[in-house]
Amino acid sequence: MTGMILFGDHPVTWRRLLKRCLELAAIWLVLTGGHSAAWLPGLAVVIPAAFASLLLPPGPAWNWHLAGICRFLPFFLRRSLLAGYDVARRALAPDPGLKPGLHRHPWRLPPGPARVFLANTISLLPGTLSVEFSDDYLLIHTLDRETDLKGELEKLEGMVGRLFRLAPEPPNAYSPLTQPANALGERLPGPQPRSEAGQ
């Protein structure tokens, strides 16, 4: 009776719990490299996490398209290797040539899991980091503001759209913002337009 009151509208069966434990255990093994010393701490993490995940209200389903997965994985791996090489080259160079900046990318995907997946994917790619998630745009920090970040983001967003069976639409008002940033990642004022009186 206590279990029925505890779980309420979120019925937890042993089969669902076992399935979720196996899923989280597989993730734990990957993160720890399968070291035997991490097995005992893993039990203390996996079992409570499995219970907690089953008690959460169900979120929107991630309906991925198989053809989209086959296109996205090679694209992501290639971009990761190229970006990782660029970051390593800059780290070893006497002059890394860093020109950090902030780029505002207006959404072309509808609200939902696809936007979250895109923001997380951008953060996983070396040299870029999603720093602000709003209803209208995604603010991204980049190591080199002079790269063609706009084109790369549009390609990536298209790949994510096909992955989620969505067709990215043109933004209503596309006004990309690329600003310099200081070492702390703060926005710096961009160049101001000259007034007619000063010309």
- 30-58 pLDDT, tens digit per residue, is 777 777 788 888 888 888 888 887 777 66
pLDDT recorded at residue 4: 33
Q: In the chain, where are the structural domains located? A: 2-55, 66-180
Give percent of the chain above pLDDT 90: 9
Is the whole model's pTM more than 0.85, yes or no? no
Residue 182 has pLDDT above 50, yes or no: no
Q: What is the mean pLDDT of the chain?
A: 75
CA separation for the pair 122, 48 (Å, rounded): 30
pLDDT recorded at residue 12: 53
- Summarize the confidence of residues 7-16 as an average pLDDT: 59
**Which of 85-89, 117-121, 130-134 is the least confident region?**
85-89
pLDDT recorded at residue 194: 43
Residue 198 has pLDDT above 70, yes or no: no
Contact 102, 108 (CB under 8 A): no
Q: In what order do the strands lie in the sheet with 128-133?
A: 128-133, 137-142, 101-106, 177-180
pLDDT recorded at residue 59: 60
pLDDT recorded at residue 145: 79
CATH topology of domain 66-180: Alpha-Beta Plaits (3.30.70)
The C-alpha angle with vertex 125 and arms to 122 and 131, in degrees rounded to 5, equals 40
Contact 126, 87 (CB under 8 A): yes
Residue 118 confidence class, pLDDT cut points 50, 70, 90: very high
